[in-house]
């Protein structure tokens, strides 16, 4: 443990935190999480008198390797407002029961920039929908798909707090008039009973192929691999 006070050892530890198993550079957010863990371990070592000082508390002449992948949003993978309207129309073709739920699901993801797990956990009492103008959603939970082997009750989804926030934190989201006045929102079937997936994983790609032009059906806009 005392060796970590040496420059070569602590920078080697940081280098390991900044790399993935295949040796390539990790994403900045991933490196930040691992560095925080290492910092807390060293702080605990100081409290237990194993180290005289935390080597990460001082400015080190070291720079994390830059991630090779581009983090900018690919414009080709972002639908235009007209294309989104077409995709929502295609989702309504899923049937008189399932269609409105899918439309509400994808409309929340587009207009409110919500994660799928947040949409699944959305309740009617979380929605402030005025007669006209902007509305507001108050998010408090998320129900991501984690698999039956990772939940205590054997369901595919697990109720969690909002990502990157304290467990009981809430996040208000302003929603535009287009979502407030949408006929499918709020829909009571945003979430199925029994813990099954609210929207199948392949639904977005199928909807895109139904409604998009042929040359776009197999593009990154439809969820295809670049």
Checking if the pLDDT of 16 tops 80, the result is yes
**Residue 182 near residue 107 (C-beta atoms within 8 A):** yes
Q: Are residues 50 and 119 in the same domain?
A: no
Q: Are residues 52 and 123 in the same domain?
A: no
Which among 102, 121, 133 is positioned nearest to 195, based on CA atoms?
A: 121
**pLDDT tens digit string along 136-164?**
999 998 888 877 787 777 777 788 888 87
Same domain, 189 and 87: yes
Q: Which two tokens stand for residue 186?
A: 């709020």
Q: Residue 159: inside a domain, yes or no?
A: yes
pLDDT band at 226 (very low <50, low <70, confident <90, very high): very low
One domain, residues 43 and 109:
no
The more confidently predicted of residues 82 and 113 is 113
- Count of structural domains within the chain: 2
Chain-centre distance for alpha carbon 197: 16
> What does the pLDDT read at residue 190?
52
Specify whether 205 is located in the same domain as 99.
yes
Rounded CA-CA distance 145/143 in Å is: 7
φ and ψ at residue 137, rounded to 5 degrees: -115, 140
> Residues 50, 16: one domain?
yes
Residues 24 and 119 in one domain: no
Instruction: Give the percent of the chain with pLDDT over 90.
Output: 12
Residue, of 105 and 71, whose pLDDT is higher: 105
* Total residue count of the chain as it appears in this document: 226
Q: Structural domain of residue 21, as residue ranges?
A: 2-57
If asked whether residues 162 and 126 sit together in one domain, one would say yes
Asked if 196 and 128 count as a contact pair (C-beta separation under 8 A), the reply is no
């Amino acid at each position: 443990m005392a060796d970590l006070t040496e420059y070569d050892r602590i920078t080697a530890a940081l280098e390991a935190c900044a790399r993935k198993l295949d040796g390539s550079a990790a994403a900045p957010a991933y490196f930040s999480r691992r560095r925080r863990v290492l910092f807390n371990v060293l702080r605990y070592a100081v409290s237990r008198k194993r180290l005289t000082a935390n080597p990460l508390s001082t400015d080190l002449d070291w720079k994390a390797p830059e991630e090779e992948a581009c983090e900018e949003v690919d414009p080709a993978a972002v639908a235009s407002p007209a294309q989104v309207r077409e995709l929502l129309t295609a989702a309504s073709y899923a049937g008189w029961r399932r269609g409105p739920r899918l439309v509400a699901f994808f409309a929340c993801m587009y207009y409110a920039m919500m994660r799928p797990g947040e949409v699944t956990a959305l309740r009617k009492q979380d929605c402030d929908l005025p007669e006209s103008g902007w509305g507001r959603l108050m998010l408090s939970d998320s129900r991501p798909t984690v698999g039956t082997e990772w939940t205590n009750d054997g369901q595919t989804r697990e109720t969690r707090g909002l990502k990157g926030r304290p467990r009981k934190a809430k996040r208000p989201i302003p929603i535009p008039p287009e979502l407030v006045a949408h006929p499918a929102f709020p829909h009571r079937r945003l979430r199925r009973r029994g813990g099954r997936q609210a929207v199948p994983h392949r639904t977005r790609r199928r909807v895109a192929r139904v409604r998009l032009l042929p040359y776009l059906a197999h593009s990154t806009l439809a969820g295809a691999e670049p």
